[in-house]
Amino acid sequence: MSTYTSVDALAAEVPDGALVAMPAEQSYVSMAMVGALIRRGVRDLHLLCVPIGSLAADMLIGAGCVSTIECAAVSLGEFGLAPRFGAAVEQGSIRIKESTCPAIHAALQAGEKGVPFMPLTGLIGSDILASRDDWKVVDDPLGQGNGPIALLPAIRPDFAIFHVPLADKDGNVWISRRRELVPLAHASKSSLITAERVTDDNLVASDIMAAGSIPNIYIGGLAEARRGARPLALPGYYPADDETYRTYARMARTEDGFRAFMDRFLGGELAAAAE
């Protein structure tokens, strides 16, 4: 595990073409890393939203960093549609691997367990099967008369990227109650983490803190980034910057507006998060 003093140095670990997984908005998104990836000009990412994308996905798409997105949805929630995602879909500039929330979680669980696929019944009868030729529908392999079942290939991201409230100098990271991040880190080849604060105290030495921690064996890189989720919220620590979010949703409706927003905020709030 490598510890960096700069989020930009951490982002430099992500090569063009990598399969990068990021959590949903409520699950500790690292906007500091999003800004750093855009600044460095990474290209051709396969972005896996676990399971829904929001501001982070829209910014990366608008900046030309993403060639493929796999997700259940991309939305800005109460602030409306994701404008750069929508424009990319209309222009055909990105490839979409349509999925569902249970399907993404199931495929990551297969990656976590080291098995080639995970069965899932909830997809049977849905139209989404027609768009995923990598998903296979088979009869109940145990012959118990349970009907057809879908087999989903395991997903093993090159990198999981997220933000945490606390990490320690040994690279252990504390995720509090966001247990959905555990299979994400387990399934990924490496996890690149930004943290609000890095402590000298070993998190896994405490029974209380260890219960909400991911040990450093799953962490490939760590950088301190105060307010590194902004303008999103870090639930339980600080709220979202709704005014910035609202401004983005309005300006990003056009390419010129998006560029103006990114010129302003990559040199300001998002860049400051990486210091």
Q: Give the Cβ contact number of residue 76 at 10 Å.
A: 21
Residue 11 has pLDDT above 50, yes or no: yes
**Entry pTM:** 0.94
Task: Say which range, 1-15, 99-113, 141-155, has the weakest mean pLDDT.
Answer: 1-15
Report d(CA 234, CA 256) in Å as an integer.
29
pLDDT tens-place string over residues 164-206? 999 999 999 999 999 999 999 999 999 999 999 999 999 999 9
Average pLDDT, the chain: 93
129 CB-near residues (< 8 Å, 6+ apart): 123, 135, 137, 150
Q: Which of 71, 42, 55, 82 is nearest to 192 (CA)?
A: 42
Residue 266 has pLDDT above 90, yes or no: no
CATH 3.40.50.10310 fits domain 2-100+155-273? no
Q: Give the Cβ contact number of residue 243 at 10 Å.
A: 9
- Residue 146's pLDDT band, with cuts at 50, 70 and 90, is confident
- Residue 76's pLDDT band, with cuts at 50, 70 and 90, is very high
Helices (H) and strands (E) in the chain, counts: 10, 17
- Residue 213's pLDDT band, with cuts at 50, 70 and 90, is very high
Is residue 159 within 8 Å of residue 18, measured between CB atoms?
A: yes
Residue 223 has pLDDT above 70, yes or no: yes
Residue 270 has pLDDT above 60, yes or no: no
Question: How far is CA 269 from its chain centroid?
Answer: 20
DSSP strands (E only) in 103-184: 117-120, 136-138, 149-153, 159-164, 166-168, 173-174
Q: What does the pLDDT read at residue 148?
A: 95
